[in-house]
């Protein structure tokens, strides 16, 4: 990811900022030009709670070089409590403990490091809810 792209997408990667459609009220993540529900412009920022449940998941045993240090790791479809689905890596949980319907919360974590001594990319992951 280029440095300009890192800066341009930091709000949605660090705090799940999407949009809400002013026409139909749909909550949208990631942000896009048009509402997927009614096709009207959706430009009002919306901060998601970061809470949701595991909708589906898979365990990754072979990964690209950037993610080798995390193998095995779980990638999940998380249904946010506001409605949208988000694909993300799960953290702070053994793959054997993951269950569909498990409550999770968003946390900011290191995603990968670009090249030796390069830019460290941070973003959202989800972990089991604590308390």
Q: In this model, does residue 81 exceed pLDDT 80?
A: yes
Q: Which residue has the higher pLDDT, 126 or 14?
A: 126
Share of the chain above pLDDT 90, in %: 57
**pLDDT tens-digit readout, 25-53:** 999 998 888 999 999 988 899 999 999 99
What residues contact 116, with CB distance under 8 A and at least 6 apart? none
> Considering the entire predicted model, what is its pTM?
0.82
Residue appearing with tokens 């809810």: 129
Options 2.40.50.840, 3.20.19.10, 3.30.70.120, 2.70.98.40; CATH for 49-131 is: 2.40.50.840
Is the backbone peptide bond immediately before 28 cis, with ω within 30 degrees of 0? no
**94 in Cβ contact with 38 (< 8 Å):** no
The DSSP 8-state label assigned to residue 114 in this structure reads -
Residue 66 sits at the vertex; the CA angle it makes with 73 and 127, to the nearest 5 degrees, is: 35
pLDDT value, residue 3: 57
Its sign, for the CA torsion 112, 62, 102, 54, is: positive
Among the residue ranges 2-11, 14-23, 52-61, 117-126, the one predicted with the least confidence is 2-11
H or E element at residue 11? helix 10-15
């Amino acid at each position: 990811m280029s440095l300009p792209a890192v800066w341009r997408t930091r709000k949605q990667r660090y705090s799940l900022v999407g949009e809400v459609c002013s026409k139909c009220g749909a909550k949208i993540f990631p942000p896009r030009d048009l509402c997927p529900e009614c096709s009207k412009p959706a430009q009002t920022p919306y901060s998601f709670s970061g809470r949701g449940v595991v909708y589906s998941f898979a365990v990754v045993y072979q990964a690209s070089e950037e993610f080798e240090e995390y193998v095995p790791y779980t990638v999940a479809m998380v249904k946010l409590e506001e409605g949208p689905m988000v694909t993300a890596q799960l953290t702070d949980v053994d793959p054997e403990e993951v269950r569909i319907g498990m409550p999770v919360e968003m946390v900011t974590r290191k995603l990968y490091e670009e090249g030796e001594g390069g830019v460290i990319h941070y973003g959202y992951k989800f972990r089991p809810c604590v308390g």
